[in-house]
Chain A
Amino acid sequence: MTGNSLIVLVKNKHFKARISGFIMAGILLLAALISVNLGWANISTADVFSVIAGRLTGSSDLYSHLDAAKAAIIWDIRIPRILCAAFVGCGLAVSGAVFQAILMNPLADSYTMGVSTGAAFGASAAIFLNVFFLTNLPVVLFAFAGALLTLAVVISISRMGGYVSSANLVISGIIVSCILSAAISLLKSMSGEQVSAIVSWLIGSLAARSWQHVIFGFPVVIICTFFCCYYAEDLNILSLGDREARNLGIDGSKLRIIFLFCGALITAVCVSTSGIIGFVGLVVPHLLRSLVGSDNRLLIPLCALTGAVLLLLADTFARSFMNVEIPVGVLTTLLGGPFFFYIFRKRNKIIQ
């Protein structure tokens, strides 16, 4: 094998990833277009596009012939929901890939670190206080704060002699996550009749998400995703362990904290937007790894697109094809769990 053929090997791989990326982007666009046309309100495709075109160009006479409620369904209900599904799916998949690399564990995601549970606890606490003490606390911000606080606690527990190892992070993440789960159960049991307010938030759903959610979450997820793409090469080296990172001239301990913060930020935004949506963060990176390999420079952009596609499709399915809307978090877990089990078994068979 010559040097040139090695270069060809690398180029082929990048080419394959780029093609997959274009295909995924195409599917995402297509899925969004289909999704915006689906729903209980019967609005024709032409009307849908005239609303979008009118809103985007700022000329309201394009859709003035429609009644205001229909225009609002398109622009203020369906589109924000589609955008939320896309950025939450993107964020969950990217943060899953990041957490897997920094924790050096292909089975990790934001739940392993307790960050999601922290967000859920923050939200539950806010809902609890709002119901029983008639306060008016913002649930989204509480979820956000809960996630970041949990991260801080997990890092400080796992820090030994100024050094944060991935094994310590996983263990303390699981412990903190267990404690917070118990605390959520406590809040639920104390809520009595009002428990449904907490439960319905905890079950991940994208129903009734507004432009506010999009404006809050979308930029954070996009910026963090670009950050992760930029430092993806360092993430590769970090996934070989701290010792090897140091050997190759990279300060693993510092970088790990930065990535943890970035992953937690994405998770916090996603969970505070949609509640708990399982398995996207676990399944998407895992699946793509068998397609394009482990190189995070290719993996992370593809995760972003595929995660968005997956959650958008799941949410569209959840809201359009059943008589009752099933929460998308339940759907992804119901489908993702067995699927994950399948790839897990298949992989073990290969190793044996």
Chain B
Amino acid sequence: MILLKNVGFQYGNRKILKNISLSVQKGSFYGVIGPNGAGKTTLMNIITGLRSDFTGRVYIKNKSITEYKIKELARQISVVPQQMDIRFPYTCLEIVMMGRTPYKSRLRALSRRDMGIVRRCMEMTDTIRFADCLITELSGGEKQRVILAKALAQQPEVLFLDEAFSHMDIYYSVKCLNVLKQLVDEDGLTVVCIMHDLNLVSSFCSEVVMLQNGEVVRQGRTETVMKPELIHGTFKIKVAKAGNSGLAVLPEL
């Protein structure tokens, strides 16, 4: 689905990413983890076409990302950014409807089918009751759910999430992750998700990429990467296995 070959990036003399090669398979749930400043967001910006001043190659469906037209790319991938401040009082319905932009032509209203997709995405994220509310009046976590609904309405093949659950309470984090997992398992969606909660990573992701200082230190099946000793090496914390697939962070360093 996505292939990275020797991708590097630097700000002036500071190397942010060094020689990263990765491949992302269709229908998998990827977690990207790493300490602050590891280069997670930069990597995502490069894969999603936001930055073009990098070295190396990025291919999406065997086609170099630089050859994609901007609208064509918007039908393949969608990004939920770390922060998105919307300064105009749009209603939540208007925001989610904007997710259909890559599929509609100007001056045309959304079709019944489009509205059906919009409704489904709002139901999945439990935001349908906000349809007529102003996005500027929602709480941080509610806003993130609306933005997730918009990204889902875009019906991408790959969905990128950068800390997209950071303001949600734990109920909605788990609920939204379950929704995504279901889409991955049943509809063949590919999800690439930057997350800090190692327990949720172990519970939901099928593959994990661990970054440190701009390099991939480990990647592979979740159970092979999320091992207490590997996590201690990168994050300098102690974790213990909890339940079937979970991880619990221990208070001592």
Which residues of A are in contact with B by a Cβ distance under 8 Å? 1-3, 6-7, 9-10, 100-101, 104-106, 161, 230-231, 233-234, 236-237, 239-241, 243-244, 246-251, 289-290, 293-295
Tell me, rounded to whole Å, the shortest Cβ–Cβ distance linking A207 to chain B. Answer: 37
Q: Knowing A7-B115, A230-B107, A237-B101 touch, does A249 contact B91 (C-beta < 8 A)?
A: no
Cβ contacts under 8 Å, B74 to chain A? 246-250
Q: How far is A101 from B115 in the complex, measured between Cα atoms in Å?
A: 25
A254 CB to nearest chain B CB (Å): 10
Stretch at the interface among B14-22, B82-90, B174-182: B82-90
B128 within 8 A of A: yes
Q: Report the stretch among B31-39, B92-100, B208-216, B226-234 that lies at the interface.
A: B92-100
Q: Which residues of B contact A293 (CB under 8 A)?
A: 89-91, 94
Selected A-B contacts with CB under 8 Å, 7 pairs: A7-B112, A230-B107, A240-B84, A249-B73, A249-B101, A293-B90, A294-B89
Output the nearest chain B residue to A241 by Cβ-Cβ distance. B84
The 10 closest A-B pairs by CB, nearest first: A249-B74, A249-B71, A294-B88, A249-B102, A3-B119, A248-B101, A294-B90, A3-B116, A1-B128, A247-B79
Contact A6 B101 (CB under 8 A): no
Q: Which residues of A contact B115 (CB under 8 A)?
A: 3, 6-7, 10
Supposing A1-B131, A9-B131 touch, asked if A249 and B87 sit within 8 A by C-beta, the answer is no
- With a cutoff of 8 Å between Cβ atoms, the chain B residues found around residue A7 in the complex are 112, 115
Residues of B within 8 A of A246 (CB): 49-50, 70, 74
- Enumerate chain A residues within 8 angstroms of B110, measured Cβ to Cβ: 10
Give the residue name and chain of the B residue nearest to A242 (CB). B50
Question: Which residues from chain B contact A233 at a C-beta distance below 8 Å?
Answer: 101, 106-107
- Interface residues of chain B, those whose CB is within 8 Å of chain A, are 48-50, 53, 70-75, 78-79, 81, 84-91, 93-94, 97-99, 101-102, 106-107, 109-110, 112, 115-116, 118-119, 128-129, 131-132, 154
Measured between beta carbons, the chain B residues less than 8 angstroms from A161 are 53
A21 to chain B, nearest CB (A): 16
Give CA–CA (A290, B107) in the complex, Å: 23
Given contacts A7-B112, A248-B154, contact A295 B94 (CB under 8 A): yes
Chain B residues in 8 Å Cβ range of A290: 89
**B77's closest neighbor in chain A, by CB?**
A247
Contact B93 A105 (CB under 8 A): no
Specify which chain A residues have a CB less than 8 angstroms from the CB of B106 in the assembled complex.
Answer: 230-231, 233-234
Q: Given contacts A6-B93, A6-B119, are A239 and B102 in contact (CB under 8 A)?
A: no
Q: Are B98 and A236 in contact (CB under 8 A)?
A: yes
Min C-beta distance of A295 to chain B, whole Å: 6
Q: A248 touching B98 by the CB < 8 A rule?
A: yes
CB within 8 A of B98: which of A2, A3, A240, A243? Answer: A240
Complex-state Cα separation, A105 to B87, whole angstroms: 7
Least CB distance from B150 to A in Å reads 9
Q: Which residues of A contact B89 (CB under 8 A)?
A: 289-290, 293-294
Report the minimal beta-carbon distance from A299 to chain B, rounded to whole angstroms.
10
Q: Which chain A residue lies CB-closest to B100?
A: A248
Could you tell me the distance between the alpha carbons of A237 and B106 in the complex, rounded to whole angstroms?
12
**B70→A250 contact, CB < 8 A:** yes
Apart from the given pairs A243-B50, A247-B74, 5 other A-B contacts in the complex at a CB distance below 8 Å? A9-B93, A241-B84, A243-B79, A249-B75, A290-B89
In the assembled complex, how far is the CB of residue A227 from the closest CB belonging to chain B, in whole angstroms? 12
B residues near A9, Cβ cutoff 8 Å: 93, 131-132
| Distance of A2 Cα from B128 Cα, bound (Å) | 9
Using A1-B131, A3-B112, A9-B132 as known contacts, say yes or no to A250 and B87 having CB atoms under 8 A apart.
no
Please tell me if the beta carbons of B119 and A247 are within 8 angstroms of each other in the complex.
no
In the complex, which residues of chain A have a beta carbon less than 8 angstroms from the beta carbon of B128?
1
The answer to whether B78 and A294 touch across the interface, beta carbons within 8 angstroms, is no
* Minimal beta-carbon separation of B49 from chain A (angstroms): 7
Is A295 a contact partner of B90 (Cβ separation < 8 A)?
yes
In whole angstroms, what is the CA distance A244 to B84 when docked? 8
Measured between C-beta atoms, what is the minimum distance from A194 to chain B in Å? 45
Contact between B86 and A240, CB atoms less than 8 A apart: yes
Nearest CB in chain B: distance from A15 CB, A: 13
From known contacts A248-B74, A249-B71, A293-B91, infer whether A6 and B131 are also in contact, taking CB-CB under 8 Å.
Answer: yes
Which of B48, B87, B119 contacts A239 (CB under 8 A)?
Answer: B87
Contact of A1 among B48, B84, B109, B129 (CB under 8 A): B129
Cβ–Cβ < 8 Å partners of B53 in chain A? 161
Q: How far, in Å, is A170 (CB) from chain B's closest CB?
A: 12
Question: Contact between B112 and A243 (Cβ–Cβ < 8 Å)?
Answer: no
Partner of A249, one of B50, B70, B94, B116: B70
- In the bound complex, do residue A237 and residue B84 qualify as a contact, i.e. CB atoms below 8 Å apart? no
**For the complex, what is the distance from the CA of A248 to the CA of B97, rounded to whole Å?**
11
Alpha-carbon distance between A343 and B131 when the two chains are bound, in angstroms = 25
Q: Quick check: A247 and B78 within 8 Å, CB to CB?
A: yes
B81 / chain A contacts, CB cutoff of 8 Å: 243-244
In the complex, chain B residues whose CB is within 8 Å of the CB of A247: 48, 74, 78-79, 154
A10 and B93 within 8 A (CB): yes
Contacts of B102 in A (CB 8 A): 248-249
Please name all residues of chain B whose beta carbon is closer than 8 Å to the beta carbon of A104 when the two chains form the complex: 87
